[in-house]
Amino acid sequence: MINLYPTHIESISLHRVGNKNKNEGIFLSDSPFALNDETTGLLKEYFFKPFREKEENYYKFTNEVDVEFNELYKIVSEIFNDPGSLHVNSKKIATHLFEQSNHPHIKSGEVYVVHFTDVLLDNVKVDAVGIFKSELKHDFLQFQEKGNNLDIVIQQGININKLDKGCLILNSHKDEGYKILSIDSNRYDTKYWLEHFLEVDPLADENFYTKNYLKFCQNFAKDVVLPAEDKQQEVLFMNRAVNHFAKNDKFEETNFLNEVMENPEFIPEFKHYKVEKGPKYSVEDVSNFDIANKAVSVARKKIRNVINLDTNIQIKLDFINAESADKFVEKGWDEDRQMYYYLVYFNKEQKS
């Protein structure tokens, strides 16, 4: 888990990169940007806000031959070894980004290369290199006095509440290609940023496995439990699965299946489904891993726990108190109406 609140900006270099395909150039600053208290505060919020709001999906540098041949991996390693080389290496980073800017959709923009210290990663302080790019320009109004009147001046600038592209390369797991977080708000050129510039793959850590295994369980519930049982049992299965993850620090598949599968006949179905669909979620050979609590919390919010009925009625089941959905909701068949029904028990209605 990452905490950016105590983080400091040690140095920052600014450059501008155009679209090579459109014969736009590159502008490299001669020296680092001189920070002051006001710009430091604004830039920290601009850089960090999207990472605080987004789920922590980590990447790592990769290369077809070896990670040592990844251009950014080499440059960032130089910066970590010698933080004083940031500006010189920032020019290499901007030039590398410019070389990837060939697609006609890629927009020109300012590039910020930053050295950070005191990033808390799993309660351990590490330094980091940030690479950010601002692309979209917005009109804004300025006012100035002209004689006895106020005049409007239209100018263009960037919206500091929305980062277009950025990554945080954390000085951790170097041998695996570092731990990297990435943001891309503009989806028209994703390959350019992740694949061509950064050249990264997902990092298979506890967050990766927790998230993917729960996604796999969710699809098993939809593809196997729902057709064999009903919507209530699909929801209850995911309820039990998420709660198992929430109360354990480590995942062990045999214990998981014994606790979550109320119908033992589903266990061989689950194993067969894992052989068939597991590769899609990179869990085909995974049966033990540390559980990432934040990934469980994020998954809980995304999983649907609502039964939608064709009579325009919804029944929302509580994911926190799984036993309530099992003890106090019954499904039956009414012969007179020739319709299914849900019977819900309660003591009193709660005030909203």
The separation between CA 43 and the C-alpha centre of its own chain, rounded to angstroms, equals 21
User: Mean pLDDT across the stretch 97-110?
Assistant: 88
Distance CA 190, CA 192 (A): 5
Encode pLDDT of 155-191 as tens digits: 888 888 888 999 999 999 999 999 999 998 876 666 8
Paired strand residues for 202:
59
Backbone angles phi and psi of 251, in degrees to 5: -100, 130
User: Mean pLDDT across the stretch 116-138?
Assistant: 93
The separation between CA 4 and the C-alpha centre of its own chain, rounded to angstroms, equals 15
Encode pLDDT of 7-57 as tens digits: 999 999 999 999 988 889 999 999 999 999 889 999 999 999 999 877 788
Amino acid 107 reads: K
**For residue 104, is pLDDT > 90?**
no
% of residues, the chain, pLDDT over 90: 54
CA-angle at 103, arms to 30 and 46, nearest 5°: 50
Longest dimension (CA), the chain: 86
- Highest average pLDDT, of 79-83, 137-141, 303-307, comes from 79-83
Question: Do residues 135 and 108 touch, judged by C-beta distance below 8 A?
Answer: yes
CA-angle at 93, arms to 81 and 183, nearest 5°: 100
Backbone region of residue 323 per phi and psi (left: phi > 0; alpha: psi in -120 to 50; beta: other values) = alpha
Distance CA 164, CA 161 (A): 10
Please give the span between the terminal C-alpha atoms of the chain, in angstroms, as a whole number.
34
| Interacting residues of 123 by C-beta distance below 8 A, sequence separation 6+ | 3
- Split at pLDDT 50, 70, 90, the class of 80 is very high
Q: Which two tokens stand for residue 102?
A: 């060939």
Query: Domain limits of the chain?
Result: 2-203, 207-344
**For residue 322, is pLDDT > 60?**
no
SS (H, E, C) 277-314: HHHHHCCCCCCEEECCHHHHHHHHHHCCCEEECCCCCE
Paired strand residues for 9:
116
Instruction: State the pLDDT at residue 85.
Output: 97
Instruction: State the pLDDT at residue 341.
Output: 86
- For 18, the 3-state DSSP assignment is coil
Of the listed ranges 72-81, 236-245, 256-265, 299-308, the one predicted with least confidence: 299-308
More confident of the two residues 130 and 342: 130
Amino acid 352 reads: S
- Split at pLDDT 50, 70, 90, the class of 91 is very high
Q: Minimal CA–CA distance to 180: which of 56, 23, 32, 4?
A: 56
**For residue 305, is pLDDT > 80?**
no
Encode pLDDT of 240-281 as tens digits: 899 899 999 999 999 999 999 988 889 999 999 999 999 999
Instruction: State the pLDDT at residue 230.
Output: 83
